[in-house]
């Protein structure tokens, strides 16, 4: 990948940036979708930071495990997937959405 050109401190900064992104995404995921600082029983409010940190650490480890265990696709595989699957699916989604909006709009109304 593009990291091959960097060594030393420049590579280290990319590495740190990627892990900061993983931490922020995990914290945002926990906050928005997994109850944030609320624990399963919520008996002691002083444990709020502990629950948040525990949930965030779980997702950090999950992302790192997935990143290490799933091989990166080659560039031609990504392009093939994008052109043959993502683009047609996007166009179908656009047409279905346009049809739904058109059919739900009363005749003669101006929006």
pLDDT tens-digit map of 8-27: 888 889 889 999 999 999 99
Every domain of the chain and the residues it spans: 1-72, 74-111
| Choice between 29 and 108, residue whose per-residue pLDDT is larger | 29
Helices (H) then strands (E): counts for the chain: 4, 0
Cα dihedral 56/58/63/68 (nearest 10): 140
Q: Which residues contact 59 (CB under 8 A, 6 or more apart)?
A: 25, 26, 29, 30
Task: Indicate whether this model's pTM tops 0.85.
Answer: no
């Amino acid at each position: 990948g593009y990291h091959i050109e960097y060594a030393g401190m420049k590579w280290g900064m990319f590495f740190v940036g990627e892990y900061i992104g993983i931490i922020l995404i995990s914290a945002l995921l926990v906050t928005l979708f997994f109850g944030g600082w609320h624990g399963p029983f919520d008996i002691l409010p002083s444990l709020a930071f502990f629950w948040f940190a525990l949930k965030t650490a779980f997702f950090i480890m999950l992302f790192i495990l997935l990143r290490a265990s799933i091989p990166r696709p080659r560039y031609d595989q990504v392009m093939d997937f994008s052109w043959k699957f993502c683009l047609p699916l996007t166009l179908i989604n656009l047409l279905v959405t346009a049809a739904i909006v058109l059919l739900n709009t009363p005749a003669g109304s101006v929006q």
